[in-house]
Amino acid sequence: MKHLIKEVVPGSIAEELEIESGDYLLAINNQEIEDIFDYQYYVEDTYIEILIEKSDGEQWILEVDKEEDEDIGIVFDNGLMDDYRSCHNKCIFCFIDQMPKGMRETLYFKDDDSRLSFLQGNYVTLTNMSEHDIERIIKYHLSPINISFQTMNPDLRCKMLNNRFAGDALKKVDRLFETGITMNGQIVLCKGVNDGDELRFSIKEMMKYLPHLESVSVVPVGLSKYRDGLYPLEPFTKADAAEVLEIIHGFQKEAYEKHGTHFIHASDEWYILADQELPAEETYDGYLQLENGVGMIRLLLEEFQDAVNGLKKNAAAGNVVSRNARTISMATGKLAYPYIKQMAEELMTIISGLQIEVYAIRNDFFGEMITVSGLLTGRDIIGQLKDKPLGERLLLPQNMLRSGEEVFLDDVTLAEMEKALQVPIDIVKSSGYDFVNTILKL
């Protein structure tokens, strides 16, 4: 197995050794390198021997003396150093199966690669992991691994994942627990399937894996309008959400009394649907499940309030924050809209001459039951803001854009949106501090 070297970091050990872009890494310390985890494990030694194949086929053995953990400066063509592993399950709740045809190809890739769990925080079902994978995790003590549990009922898990091996895959959690591997969990809750008594059973069983299973999130299944031919799932109601929260809060109390952690967490959608107050910051245990929408709004509000308190102190000291009279606009998903609106109104009471108009964008593309801003398309934003007063600038949250690019989910670019709406657009990072700072800089 050989791995293509994409580039060499200037001034690095690799450059000194005359390793070049286009060369191949073959082995380290006479060990074949399977992927990035093998590479990172073997390259940590203070003395290593690297087998390189040059672009002309010549092989070099290079001896390296270095500091422990010192990077040698090689960047590979593929970050994992081999192909990504796709998911072979056909989960009844899979959102990718609910997308229409004709979108960019990468949006249809179903990831179930345990390596991305460590590198990027992705959640995996364990059904795609071999005994070799488990042994390597234990050998390298890779942590944390994020696991999509869905249920602790093996038979029900087979049904939900449409995989007859999905129940047995839960036994891999025992191996990880016994060897002290840190884990986080997720339950995608489906009405009438893994909720109610099944949810109670699952949480009770998962609590047995404390403290190595640090946290578990419960998120409602996302239902788009493209579900023809798929498993018949229904949306949760306000009463359903209240029942889910009652179950979670009961287990949180038990976990905190026994283990000093709340362990099981409800995503923000449950509180909004149930029309209940968001929990206090301390109940989120350091926001371990932010990527699953657990505590995102609470953290946003806390950061915003901290920034606002600083402005109020300045105002009390006679330093009034004042701007020339101006109007700006903001757009967000329906889920966060009430909170963004609340924040904008408070800011207008502090900054003299500022007017902020906040718009909730309805998700016409996927359907109105999808309310998060990260799944809004450029066309929906343009269509619903086209004739609205947008002021001098429009502010949009960063999660509407593809990571590292100025492109929306449907490939509409930021420049195209500015042209269509005839207004400059500023992107706001996902923190309350950035919310305030972006407005102050306008």
pLDDT, tens digit, for every residue of 203-239? 999 999 999 999 999 999 999 999 999 999 999 999 9
- CB-CB contact of 363 with 370 (8 Å): yes
**Structure pTM?**
0.82
**CATH code matching the domain that covers 3-76, chosen among 2.30.42.10, 3.40.718.10, 3.40.50.300, 1.10.3720.10:** 2.30.42.10
Can you tell me the distance from the alpha carbon of 64 to that of 45, in angstroms, rounded to the nearest whole number?
9
3-state secondary structure of 204: helix
What amino acid is encoded at 9 in this protein?
Answer: V
> What pLDDT shows up at residue 203?
98
Can you tell me the distance from the alpha carbon of 203 to that of 264, in angstroms, rounded to the nearest whole number?
8
> What pLDDT shows up at residue 324?
60
**Cβ neighbours of residue 196 closer than 8 Å, sequence gap 6 or more:** 243
CATH 2.30.42.10 residue spans of the chain: 3-76
**Ranges in the chain, pLDDT < 70:** 79-86, 105-121, 315-325
- Output the CATH code of domain 299-441: 3.40.50
* CATH topology classification for 96-293: pyruvate-formate lyase- activating enzyme (3.80.30)
3-state secondary structure of 276: coil
CATH 3.80.30 residue spans of the chain: 96-293
- CB-CB contact of 295 with 284 (8 Å): yes
> What pLDDT shows up at residue 118?
47
> What pLDDT shows up at residue 110?
56
Element (H, E) at 27: strand 24-28
**Backbone torsions φ then ψ of 39, nearest 5 degrees:** -60, -50
CATH 3.40.50 residue spans of the chain: 299-441
| Residue 27 C-alpha from the chain's centroid | 33
- CB-CB contact of 334 with 371 (8 Å): yes
